[in-house]
């Protein structure tokens, strides 16, 4: 069975199938925030999606992070480290990318067990 969460016009915020949850790319609700603030905003959204699907951050398998400016990695890592449970670190990749909306500084997608 496939379950969809936080459906929008073109996508679902997350899709669950076979005990695995796939999160769409999440961007900050408040694009006026700096990089650290946008990351914290997005991680809160991820917490909410995981909870809605019956999971949590300790079950993250893989995370992909996209930054508009890779020199902002320290700001990203400050928010990440404050949020992450160090006993349950997922695999992670971080790359530089351009976004549709130039106000967005970060986009994060993830895969988690349910």
Contact 14, 55 (CB under 8 A): no
Per-residue model confidence (pLDDT) at position 10: 92
Quick: pLDDT tens for 33-82. 999 999 999 999 999 999 999 999 999 999 999 999 999 999 999 999 99
**What average pLDDT does the segment 3-10 reach?**
94
Q: Please give the Cα distance from 113 to 11 (Å, whole number).
A: 20
Tell me the pTM: 0.95
DSSP H helices, 16-56, are 35-52
Write the CB contacts of 77 (distance below 8 Å, at least 6 apart in sequence): none
């Amino acid at each position: 069975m496939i379950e969809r969460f936080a459906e929008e016009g073109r996508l679902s915020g997350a899709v669950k199938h076979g005990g695995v949850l796939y999160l769409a790319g999440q961007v900050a609700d408040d694009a006026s925030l700096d990089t650290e603030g946008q990351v914290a905003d997005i991680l809160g959204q991820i917490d909410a999606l995981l909870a809605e699907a019956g999971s949590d951050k300790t079950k993250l398998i893989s995370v992909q992070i996209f930054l508009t400016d890779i020199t902002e990695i320290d700001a990203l890592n400050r928010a990440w480290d404050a949020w992450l449970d160090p006993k349950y670190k997922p695999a992670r990749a971080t790359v530089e990318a351009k976004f549709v909306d130039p106000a967005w500084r970060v986009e994060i997608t993830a895969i988690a067990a349910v």
